[in-house]
Structure 1
């Protein structure tokens, strides 16, 4: 029973939501700031007008002949003497009692400001006519009975128009912010969708690359010039991962193909020899020949399989060389001694031009296997009675080993095939010792050591050059 599909979160929806919330918070904050600034400016103008009126009345109170003579004040500020007008003032004594008020109050008192503070105090109040108002109370000096006396002057004015204007501005700002928020959400959705379009296309490319059938060639690189800079590291990592995956698949495919290729002929030989022996029952010579042919074929299969397995380990990076100081000249001479019988059988002479000691840093087993392969090939394929040269040369702080042998049967085009598995100049000339894998293994071992194994054909001579090996004699 299949499990229900998990609902995965949407990156596009999440980014759009977070962007919309951020823009909404920004617009709301902007609304609060603008509304506060407008209120402050609007009511600041109202307070400034109250302050001007209070100062004008205070000047009269301080310099008038008597506080009870208001005729001059009526002439100067008639707005306070019209019943039903929106402006009011009142003077309180030190004990809070009303000394006199404007005629516009119609004998109804003004509200006192909240307690606290000695200087000018602005406050909101209900006016004598029942409307909402704004007031200012401040201490002044008035001439009462011919002498200066400290009193409190309160002036007030109606704030209905200011409140109405403030509400209109407030609602206008609120509507503008709401519209801007809707536009911002729409723009955020569009921007996120357009911004994530390369990501979606990249995901489709990854899906197509991951869904490619195994026999298909390596997919096109994910990283290209059109990819956004932020996605380039992911694309490079995927390209590297796909490259390693396809390389592994290719190694396994090649290994399977090589094993099948190499085992086909020996198995055919074994089957043919056994069938031939079975048709001659009681023939000991035929049976012994079949045994010999089968054993030789099995040895060839064993050698090929061992070499293929070693190649696969080195190509997969499973075997790492351990480099140590070693005498390459002594190593090469031990190999020459072990190969002396093969050389004598083909009457091949080996010219040893190596120095008495050649100390380098390398892996003993890998270097021995490479040199053994080169020397065996040189002995096996050089013409009988010819001479092979073994030497060394130093260049750029490194040491190069050389194996030169006559190769009249080779041409320049053959060098391109060197190192390919199972390649032989004569396809039918494979033996248990030469299955066409030696140079492939030698090159893989050289690559694992960080060395180059190159071949050059000049004047009928094949020169194999291995290096550069770190020359310890120069340290």
Structure 2
């Protein structure tokens, strides 16, 4: 059954349902029809029996029975399928119309006015046995009325045969109709399959229209379209990422080639060779750092980053970082401040790197003589770290993309220093998400703030 197609399964289930309904309906009609005929026969037998008992009740002696035969014959002989027997107390047949019948002994002795059935070879009989009391006589007469219902049973037998033949034909027809209906109903699924089979990198923007799709399948089609949107977005990001990698690696490689070609263009002294090697070393370090960062992000995408689970005092981490960055900030007259306190669980080296990336980014874009503020806030079960710096407001359309790899708000790529590859914020987001936290940015009125929210384990008290 599992190997059958969905259309075939629906056709078989439709056929079984139709067959079950027709079977129940047919058996019910057959049972009710037989019951109806039996009730009609019982009613007729009761009427004939009552009339016969009333006639026989006028007798005062068995010797007068011959006088009632014409009346009994007129009453009981009018029905073609009815056989009537009247016996005296000794079992002698006093009246038989249309003729004597060999009734089984058990039915001769039954006197409870109930209908009994009796089959003789291919003939079927339905009868009733009762007593008729004569005036002044202690021993009653026995009245046996018998209906020949052979033609009734033959009719029902023929009806049953045609019913089973009709049931088989109906099952086959319902299976064919079910297959047609199921195939027609599965057309939208085939359309989805065709679209899925034709998907390629160049057709990820195609969507399945919802208008002709049945209501039951609209959610599936909407989910499929949403999946295509995610794939399209991921493919665009991957394409941009590949282009960005090529762009970022091209510059140091070009520098290495140019420096090497210039040095090799003629014979030089040892000092020139050393200067060239030092210059090449700087470019190699930049490439090495970029490759390490990309490997870190690749591990993050595959869930391979497993941070430690130690208690970390965020105020202590931030203060150590500020001691280092104050040396760089003093050159530009920039002030660094920290407020608040909070404690989280995680990897101190990873969080150190994440906060360092934000401080480095803030220091790069803060004007001279301004202040960078770090605020640590304890909020219930989470701790919020906010790094805020003054500077040019970032447009809203860039805020969500700041954490993309190699993304810069300036398309001309003129932002930052040559050592800045544009991976810092991507790494920071990966670290925060590895700690089951979240990070976002808002920028307005000449101030930009990065918010890091992490699960907390209690505030460190002074």
> Taking structure 1 as the reference length, what is the TM-score of the superposition?
0.76
CA positional deviation for 1:196: 5.3
> What is the CA RMSD across the aligned residues, in angstroms?
4.3
Q: Is the counterpart of residue 439 in structure 1 residue 425 in structure 2?
A: yes
Aligned partner of residue 266 in structure 2, secondary structure: coil
CA positional deviation for 1:328: 1.8
CA positional deviation for 1:435: 2.0
Decide whether aligned partners of structure 1 residues 216 and 286 sit closer, same or farther in structure 2, where only a CA change above 3 A counts: farther
Distance 2:80 2:186 in 1: 70
**1:367 matched to which residue of 2?**
351
**Candidates 241, 251, 254, aligned match of 1:265:** 251
Decide whether aligned partners of structure 1 residues 406 and 81 sit closer, same or farther in structure 2, where only a CA change above 3 A counts: closer
Aligned partner of residue 115 in structure 1, secondary structure: helix
Deviation by residue 1:340-363 (Cα, 9 ceiling, x = unmatched): 44345x3544332425xx123253
**1:69 matched to which residue of 2?**
64
**Candidates 120, 142, 148, aligned match of 1:152:** 142
CA positional deviation for 1:392: 1.4
**Candidates 185, 191, 200, aligned match of 1:213:** 200
Distance 2:139 2:335 in 1: 135
**1:45 matched to which residue of 2?**
40
Distance 1:188 1:367 in 2: 66
Distance 1:431 1:92 in 2: 129
CA positional deviation for 1:175: 5.5
**2:94 matched to which residue of 1?**
100
CA positional deviation for 1:11: 2.7
Distance 2:386 2:33 in 1: 92
CA contact (8 A) 2:386 2:452 kept: no
Aligned partner of residue 339 in structure 2, secondary structure: coil
CA positional deviation for 1:51: 3.3
How many residues matched?
448
Distance 2:81 2:326 in 1: 129
Distance 1:236 1:320 in 2: 35
Unpaired segments of 5 or more residues in structure 2? none
Unpaired segments of 5 or more residues in structure 1? 1-6
Distance 2:85 2:241 in 1: 109
CA positional deviation for 1:269: 0.7
CA contact (8 A) 2:10 2:178 kept: no
Aligned partner of residue 38 in structure 1, secondary structure: helix
Distance 1:80 1:400 in 2: 108
217-226 or 358-367, which deviates more: 217-226
**Candidates 438, 457, 460, aligned match of 1:451:** 438
**Candidates 256, 259, 262, aligned match of 1:276:** 262
Q: Is the counterpart of residue 287 in structure 1 residue 259 in structure 2?
A: no
Deviation by residue 1:28-63 (Cα, 9 ceiling, x = unmatched): 332233223223322432343233333333344444
Decide whether aligned partners of structure 1 residues 150 and 324 sit closer, same or farther in structure 2, where only a CA change above 3 A counts: same
Aligned partner of residue 139 in structure 2, secondary structure: strand
Decide whether aligned partners of structure 1 residues 334 and 218 sit closer, same or farther in structure 2, where only a CA change above 3 A counts: farther
**1:465 matched to which residue of 2?**
450
> Taking structure 2 as the reference length, what is the TM-score of the superposition?
0.77
Aligned partner of residue 152 in structure 1, secondary structure: strand
Decide whether aligned partners of structure 1 residues 247 and 366 sit closer, same or farther in structure 2, where only a CA change above 3 A counts: farther
CA positional deviation for 1:268: 0.8
**Equivalences for 1:18-417 in 2 at 5 Å?**
18-79=13-74, 88-93=83-88, 96=91, 98-102=92-96, 104-105=98-99, 109-115=100-106, 118-119=110-111, 120=113, 122-124=116-118, 134-142=126-134, 147-156=137-146, 159=148, 163-164=150-151, 182=169, 186=173, 189-190=176-177, 193-195=180-182, 197-217=184-204, 220=207, 226-229=213-216, 231=217, 252-319=238-305, 321=307, 325-344=311-330, 346-355=331-340, 358-361=341-344, 363=346, 364-383=348-367, 386-392=369-375, 394=377, 400-405=384-389, 407=391, 410=392, 412-413=394-395, 416=398
Distance 2:34 2:140 in 1: 33
CA positional deviation for 1:214: 3.0
**1:3 matched to which residue of 2?**
none
Decide whether aligned partners of structure 1 residues 60 and 335 sit closer, same or farther in structure 2, where only a CA change above 3 A counts: same
CA positional deviation for 1:368: 1.8
Decide whether aligned partners of structure 1 residues 69 and 432 sit closer, same or farther in structure 2, where only a CA change above 3 A counts: same
Decide whether aligned partners of structure 1 residues 348 and 320 sit closer, same or farther in structure 2, where only a CA change above 3 A counts: farther
391-400 or 280-289, which deviates more: 391-400
CA contact (8 A) 1:111 1:125 kept: no
CA positional deviation for 1:333: 1.3
Distance 2:179 2:123 in 1: 53
Distance 1:250 1:361 in 2: 36
CA contact (8 A) 2:319 2:338 kept: no
**Equivalences for 1:418-429 in 2 at 5 Å?**
418-420=402-404, 421=406, 423=408, 427=413
